């Protein structure tokens, strides 16, 4: 089965974690032996070979560079928007390097999407002169948190560079909006950001928005909306997840919600850095609880997808026990089938819902 992962921080891992994602996962872990600068050293789960092995052939890949508004915040950020902008340009350069090497291909429009799906459906390499070459992983460029957007001209430049989705905030207060664990709505610059996003045809990613910002966004933004990596608040009480009321509003807007594999978002009571998968017995099947909950609220399986967020500043220490690498998303169809999901519904959740969303958005 073909999988679409709606949220992966690939460039962040390549540049800030110094991981060569073209290499096998075992080699990446070996290379981090003895390193303690990141909590997930030797525990990474994502690389391009593992994505291919699990047939995760298309993803939403991020640029991310927060501006730090509180020097004592545990979430890392840059000292100024200009530094954050420079970081995202470096991340874009890495994606371009992966394209040049034939490892990845950027998907900007409907023609590119259909061409990439045909390529993976045929199982043929991109280069007919190199029949043993691996299939390139497709990526749709997204910006997680808009702090790095220096001006609307910079946003337009990013659009020209292939940016197709944007989440206005990340953790805490942002330059344009309030994010996870913060309160309040969009400021004046944030409302202008939404207006220009609408004009450009950017997808609004509402993951990480504060409750107030989410309601404002639904009112102010007329374009396509998705939640790339979010779970259900009724199952894991925290503002990072969506309440049932919020999920119904998103469903009514035609959104698709990508279920995330970050353990603290999957089960209640998880304490990052202390709780372990072994102690809780956390397994991939718990993700099906969140997927099923969205489907029950919608009355169908048309609004649920996968946005793993794997290696989003965590690794196997904060993953289900039966997720060794991203290739293990291939276990999900059997787990969903055991719950009574039909083959057609499982295909929708694996990739079909986000693909339909993109076709509708890009046709418009």
pLDDT tens for residues 169-188? 999 999 999 999 999 999 99
Cα separation of 233 and 243, whole Å?
5
Cα separation of 329 and 151, whole Å?
38
Cα separation of 239 and 131, whole Å?
48
Cα separation of 294 and 289, whole Å?
9
What pLDDT score was predicted for residue 122?
82
pLDDT at 236 over 90: yes
pTM of the model: 0.96
**Domain layout of the chain by residue ranges:** 3-363
* Averaged pLDDT, 45-73: 91
Cα separation of 257 and 57, whole Å?
19
> Cβ distance 213 to 168 under 8 Å?
yes
What pLDDT score was predicted for residue 125?
60
What pLDDT score was predicted for residue 166?
98
What pLDDT score was predicted for residue 131?
55
Q: What percent of the chain lies above the pLDDT cut of 70? A: 96
Q: How far is CA 288 from the centre of its chain?
A: 18
What pLDDT score was predicted for residue 76?
79
Q: What percent of the chain lies above the pLDDT cut of 90? A: 94
What pLDDT score was predicted for residue 128?
54
The two beta strands, 203-205 and 225-226, are parallel
What pLDDT score was predicted for residue 68?
86
211-227: pLDDT as tens digits: 999 999 999 999 999 99
Confidence of residue 265 (pLDDT cuts 50, 70, 90): very high
* Averaged pLDDT, 303-314: 98
pLDDT at 72 over 60: no
**Mean pLDDT of all residues belonging to the chain:** 95
Size of the chain in residues? 364
The CATH code belonging to domain 3-363 is 3.20.20.140
* Averaged pLDDT, 342-348: 98
- The better pLDDT of the pair 319, 125 is held by 319
Which residues are CB-neighbours of 103 under 8 A, at least 6 positions away?
22, 48, 134, 136, 137
What pLDDT score was predicted for residue 71?
57
* Averaged pLDDT, 217-241: 98
194-207: pLDDT as tens digits: 999 999 999 999 99
Confidence of residue 69 (pLDDT cuts 50, 70, 90): confident
């Amino acid at each position: 089965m073909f999988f679409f992962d709606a949220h992966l921080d690939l460039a962040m891992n390549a540049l800030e974690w110094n991981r060569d994602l073209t290499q096998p996962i075992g080699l990446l872990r070996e290379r981090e032996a003895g390193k303690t600068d990141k909590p997930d050293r030797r525990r990474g789960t994502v690389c391009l070979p593992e994505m291919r092995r699990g047939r995760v052939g298309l993803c939403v890949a991020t640029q991310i560079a927060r501006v730090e508004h509180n020097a004592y915040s545990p979430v890392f950020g840059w000292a100024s928007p200009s530094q954050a902008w420079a970081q995202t340009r470096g991340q874009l350069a890495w994606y371009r390097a992966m394209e040049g090497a034939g490892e990845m291909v950027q998907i900007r429009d409907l023609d590119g999407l259909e061409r990439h799906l045909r390529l993976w459906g045929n199982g043929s390499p991109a280069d007919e002169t190199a029949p043993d070459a691996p299939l390139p992983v497709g990526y749709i460029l997204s910006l997680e948190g808009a702090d790095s957007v220096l001006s609307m001209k910079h946003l337009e430049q990013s659009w020209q560079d292939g940016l197709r989705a944007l989440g206005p905030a990340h953790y805490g207060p942002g330059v344009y909006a309030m994010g996870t664990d913060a309160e309040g709505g969009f400021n004046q610059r944030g409302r202008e950001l939404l207006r220009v996003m609408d004009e450009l045809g950017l997808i609004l990613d509402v993951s990480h928005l504060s409750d107030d910002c989410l309601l404002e966004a639904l009112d102010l933004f007329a374009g396509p909306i998705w939640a790339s990596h979010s779970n259900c608040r009724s199952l894991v009480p925290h503002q990072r997840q969506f309440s049932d009321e919020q999920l119904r509003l998103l469903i009514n807007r035609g959104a698709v919600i990508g279920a995330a594999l970050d353990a603290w978002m999957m089960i209640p009571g998880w304490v990052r850095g202390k709780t372990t998968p072994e102690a809780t017995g956390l397994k991939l099947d718990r993700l099906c609880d969140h997927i099923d909950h969205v489907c029950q609220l919608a009355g169908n399986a048309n609004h649920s997808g996968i946005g793993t967020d794997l290696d989003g500043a965590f690794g196997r220490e904060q993953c289900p026990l039966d997720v060794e690498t991203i290739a293990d998303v291939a276990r999900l169809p059997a787990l969903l089938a055991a719950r009574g999901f039909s083959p057609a519904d499982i295909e929708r959740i694996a990739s079909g819902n986000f693909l339909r969303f993109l076709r509708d958005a890009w046709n418009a």
